[in-house]
Amino acid sequence: MVFEEWQQWGRRPEDSEKHNIHRLSGNLPEMESTKQLVNLVSNDYESGMKVLDVGCNVGHYLKGLRRQFPELDYTGVDAYDYYISQAKIAFQNDPNSAFEVKDIFKPIFPENPFDIVYCCNVIHHLPDFRIPVKNLLSSTKKVCFIRALFADYTNIVKSTVTESYDDDGNPIDYWYLNTWSKNYFTEFVKKLGWNVEFIADEFETSQIQKEFETIKNSESDVATRIVGDLQIIEGVVANWVWAKLTPIN
């Protein structure tokens, strides 16, 4: 796989998965978004359903789901071999899980869609959401949950990883931290034949700030901090919102 400039996870996988490896081991607490994901899935899950996690990283969300659904039929996919290999090791004794390398910019499982699909903390790191969302929905039967940065506006942000720039002053080493307009996102999704319901992100501010204080001096990990009631990532206000996508009848 040829990595684009913004694909820092492919360039530095052993660095950018540290948070989530520590969550699996219990050295870091469960993500606040994991708690809400479990609740959201619980509202739609029925025994026997298949669940797909797109952008699964090392499978850390599965750890939370397993508490509620011990027998859940889970498949996790990620674009990067390193994460999938780590996930397979972590869940090698879990007979109801499977992990595969899949690129969200390419068809995922269009011929064998899953009942419930979720994609958390991925879309805002991509240069464009349209092809990825189309691929998510082509692999979804009933409901798709997307957690990303949404607001009344669109901001395209390139956050630099190193102070390296081309002759025009554009960063060479960066990742995206994009916020997408709710209206723009909704109009696109409805054209594909799906409804959109936005759900407020729920989190315990003290837990996020505590984790920030724990890892803020790390050389590689990026931590989210709290200012007032807002989450801040590298100076960007993180307007986390869940989008629940269901077919238009």
How far, in Å, CA of 22 to CA of 26, rounded? 6
What's the mean per-residue pLDDT of the chain? 89
Secondary-structure class of domain 8-207+241-247 per CATH:
alpha beta
**More confidently predicted of 208 and 158:** 158
- Residue 219 is predicted with a pLDDT of 46
Residue recorded with tokens 């595969």: 100
Please check whether residue 163 is in contact with residue 154, taking contact to mean a CB–CB distance below 8 angstroms.
Answer: no
- Residue 222 is predicted with a pLDDT of 66
**More confidently predicted of 228 and 143:** 143
**Burial tier of 116 (Cβ tally within 10 Å: 0-12, 13-18, 19+):** buried
pLDDT over 90, % of the chain: 68
- Residue 144 is predicted with a pLDDT of 98
Say how many residues make up the chain. 249
* Number of Cβ within a 10 Å radius of residue 169: 6
Most confident stretch, 1-5, 219-223, 241-245: 241-245
pLDDT tens-place string over residues 7-56: 988 887 777 667 788 788 887 778 888 999 999 999 999 999 999 999 99
Tokens for 109?
């499982």
pLDDT at 233 over 80: no
DSSP annotation of 5: T
Mean pLDDT of 149-174: 93
Nearest to 55 by CA among 92, 87, 28, 96: 87
Give the model's confidence band at 226: pLDDT under 50 very low, under 70 low, under 90 confident, else very high.
low
What distance lies between CA 154 and its chain's CA centroid?
Answer: 19
How far, in Å, CA of 244 to CA of 236, rounded? 24
pLDDT at 189 over 50: yes
pLDDT at 221 over 60: no
pLDDT over 70, % of the chain: 88
- Residue 218 is predicted with a pLDDT of 57
- Residue 4 is predicted with a pLDDT of 87
| pTM of the predicted model as reported, rounded to 2 decimal places | 0.92
Query: In the chain, what are the domain boundaries?
Result: 8-207+241-247
Give the model's confidence band at 205: pLDDT under 50 very low, under 70 low, under 90 confident, else very high.
low
pLDDT at 65 over 80: yes
How far, in Å, CA of 127 to CA of 115, rounded? 27
Evaluate the CA torsion angle 106, 237, 120, 111 in order and state its sign.
negative
Give the model's confidence band at 217: pLDDT under 50 very low, under 70 low, under 90 confident, else very high.
low
